[in-house]
Amino acid sequence: MKCSLIICTYNWPEALALVLSSIAVQSVPPDEIVIADDGSGSSTADTIKKYDEILSIPIVHSWQEDINCRIPHSRNKAIAKAKFEYIIMIDGDTVLHSDFVKDHKISAKKGIYTQGSRVLLQSAITNTIFSKGFFISPSFFSKEAKNKLNMLRIPLISRLIRLQKSKNINRIRGCNYSIYKDDIIKVNGFNEKISTWGREDSEFVQRLFNIGMNKQVLKFSGIQYHLYHKERSHNRINDDILNNTINNNIKSCENGIDRYL
């Protein structure tokens, strides 16, 4: 099975460089990298060009004009450009454990959405990482990391947890998940009615549930480290879109990936 690793980014090339550096040391590399760029400036393009020359993995830069926050549009365009059957999605501020891609490929199943988790790095260690120019993995006992259990890679326990399937919409995170491309297309991808930050991931996954798919949780594997930044608040309009999808059992969005295929 071949996979496309999609990285969502917006105007943070320093973080993107750290993420791309972590891809260079994957035990099982992706077959291609697609950068889903929501309108970044030239510094991001320069970073992508630099790593395109360094890495042996092909990089596709999928860019769109910077008009508000259009994450669904950016993801749909990147997924449409992806050449391979399995999609792994991360954010451009999540540094990857060396077995990250391997763990997602091991967990892949048709008709299953795989949701990973993240270690939350705090501001001091994040600043240190940027000042040094390379990633520093925190100690398990460090106060500079939250969600510390997510640092532990224990494949046997991870396999046991994956046996439990659910349709629980809680804790959906777009920064660490994987799914077959065909399953994305079945629900027409991400809903482009959402044009401000938040809820695009949950609304997408709810439509997967509505067509009968299940979620499996990737714990004690698929490890990633989230670089610190201030979190944004989601728009309540997006809550209404999500609730409409739940209450009316909506299975496919009108404004989705089909326009790019």
Backbone φ and ψ for 224, nearest 5 degrees, come out as -145, 155
Structure confidence at residue 235 (pLDDT): 75
Helix (H) or strand (E) holding 86: strand 86-91
Structure confidence at residue 226 (pLDDT): 97
Structure confidence at residue 52 (pLDDT): 97
C-alpha 61/C-alpha 249 separation (Å) is 35
Domains and CATH numbers, the chain: 3-260 (3.90.550.10)
Structure confidence at residue 127 (pLDDT): 96
Q: What is the pLDDT of residues 89-99, one digit of tens each?
A: 999 999 999 99
CA angle 228, 234, 238 (to 5 degrees): 145
Average pLDDT across the chain, whole number: 96
- Ranges under pLDDT 70 in the chain: 233
pTM flag (> 0.75): yes
Inter-residue contact 191 to 242 (CB < 8 Å): no
